[in-house]
Structure formats: structure tokens, C-alpha cells
Structure 1
């Protein structure tokens, strides 16, 4: 639940309330409340604004995950799949884009402007295997480049994963991270 809440929004809300309380207390000549409102409220508002400027919103799922898929995930998902899913579905601060460092290390992000942008996630059952599908908008990196990096992507994201790359529509690339773990 907490990763779904923006710290920037919390800072702005609490800071705004305290600051307004400080102004009202100043107008009503309540010195102690006035000081508390100003000394705590204004820094919280400024902190909230700074966080808002550095905020990276969570990536949505392209469709809701069914209970069957959640059960499959709990049994077969690799630690890497779980980490990716958790990281990209929460607010992040101070990063340029989701998976920016990973894309850079894989050679899929020559510059910030050319970096593919993660747009959605999808969890699915593919022949009894758990699959985490990452959908990227990739106007500058061709499908051929993604396919050349397919083996490197599989090694990068760890053991027990098979990777497939597809282009369902022009300038959109899907990366399927397929768990190779067997049911217990």
C-alpha cells in the first residue's frame, strides 16, 4: 500500500495544512502555533515540491492480474521478476526512467533521448509458465537491435529466465521474461 502513495503528495498536503495553519495562527495572534506552522509547514511544502520534481510514477498493468496468475506468480516467479515488478509499480525518486540503468548496461540506451520508455506490464500464464511482459515504446531502437540483445537480456536478468522479444506494433517492443522454474 505504501509504495502506491506519492511521498510528494504527502509532503505537499501535510506541509500545506501546517503552513495555512501557521498563517491563520499569525492572523489570530497565536504565536506558538504560528511558529510551528511556519517552521514545519514551509520546509515540508518545499520538500514535497522537490520530491514532485524528481518523481517517477508507477507503471500500470495493461490488464488486471487474475487470481490464477497471482497463484502462478507465487509459485514460479523468479526473484528478478518479482523485483522488477515491485520496482516499476511504485513511485521512484531521482531516476530518469524506469529500468534506465538496466537498459544502459544492456546497450539499449545510447542517450537519454533515445532510451526506450517502459509503458506497461502484463503478467500471464504461457503454457504453464509465469511470464512478466514489459512493454516499451522504442522509437529509436529497432526490433533487430532488441533481438541481438536478447541473449544478453536473459543473462542480465538472471538464471531461470528465458527471454523473447516481439514488436506487436510499430515502435512498440515487448520483452517477455519467462520463468523456467518448475512447479514444486
Structure 2
């Protein structure tokens, strides 16, 4: 739940309230509240502004995850699938984009302008296996470049994960991380 709260907004809100209290206390000649307002309110306000400037919003699920899919996730999801899901569905600070370092490592982000952008994710079942599908807007990197990197992606996101890449429409790429049956036998 805490990962769904914007620390920038929280800092701005609390910092603004304390700063206003400080100004009101200054006008009312109340030294104690005046100090609290200025010494805590202004730094929180500035910290909130700094966080808000570097904030990366969570990526929404494009489909509602059903209770049966939640059970399948608990039974089959790999550590990597869970880490990716948790990472892109929370507020992040100091990153250029979700999965930016992974895309750079895989050679899918030559420049910031060309980097594919994660626009959604969903959980589904493929042949009885839990599957996490990442939806990308990729206008400058075509599907054939993605497919050339498929083997590298499989080793990067593994073990226990098979990667499938599809193009549902122009400029859209779906990266499916499918739990392999070999990994399910080892659990």
C-alpha cells in the first residue's frame, strides 16, 4: 500500500501545512509553533518539490487481475516476475523510465528518445503457466530488433522464464514473461 503513495505529494502537503502554520504562528507571535513551522515545514516542502520533480508514476494494470490469477501468481511466479511487477507498479524516484537499466543492458535503449516506454502490464495464463505481460510503446525500435534480443532477454529475466515477443498493433510491443514448466517442477 505504501508503494502506491507519492512521497513527493506527501512531502508537499505536510510541508505546506507546517509552513503555513509557521507563518500564522509568526504573525500571532507564537515562537514555538513558528520554529516548528519554519524548521520542519520549509525543508519538507523543498524535499517534496525535489521528489515531485524526479517522480516516476506507477504503471497501471491494463486488465484486472482475477482471484484465480492471484492464486496462480502465488504458486508459480518467479522472483524476477514478482520483482518486475512490484517495481513498475510503484512510485520511483531518480530514474528516467521504468526498466531503463534493463532496456539499456538488453540494447533496446540506444538513446533516451528511442527508449521504449512501458505503458501497461497484465497477468494471464499461457498453457497453464503464470505469465506477466509488459506492454511497451516502441515507435522507434521495430519488432525485428526486439526479436533479435529474445535469447538475451530469456537469460536476463531467467531462470525459469521463457520470453515471447508480439506486436499487437503498430508501435506496440508486448513482452510476455512465461514461467517455464521446468521451474514449476523444481518448486
- Equivalent in the alignment of 2:175: 175
- Equivalent in the alignment of 2:54: 54
Q: Distance in 2 between matches of 1:18 and 1:27?
A: 14
Deviation of the 1:158 alpha carbon = 1.4
Deviates more, 1:85-94 or 1:23-32: 23-32
Q: Distance in 1 between matches of 2:81 and 2:100?
A: 16
- Equivalent in the alignment of 2:91: 91
Where does structure 2 lack aligned partners over 5 or more consecutive residues? none
- Equivalent in the alignment of 1:19: 19
Q: Distance in 2 between matches of 1:30 and 1:105?
A: 56
TM-score relative to the length of structure 2 = 0.96
TM-score relative to the length of structure 1 = 0.98
- Equivalent in the alignment of 1:153: 153
Deviation of the 1:182 alpha carbon = 2.4
Where does structure 1 lack aligned partners over 5 or more consecutive residues? none
Tell me, what secondary structure is at the counterpart of 1:122? strand
1:82-122 deviation line (CA, Å, top 9, x unaligned): 00000000000000000000000000000011000000000
Q: Distance in 1 between matches of 2:113 and 2:165?
A: 22
Q: Distance in 1 between matches of 2:105 and 2:184?
A: 29
1:51-89 deviation line (CA, Å, top 9, x unaligned): 000000000000110000000000000100000000000
What is the RMSD computed on CA atoms of the aligned residues? 0.9
Q: Distance in 1 between matches of 2:32 and 2:86?
A: 43
- Equivalent in the alignment of 1:4: 4
Tell me, what secondary structure is at the counterpart of 2:87? helix
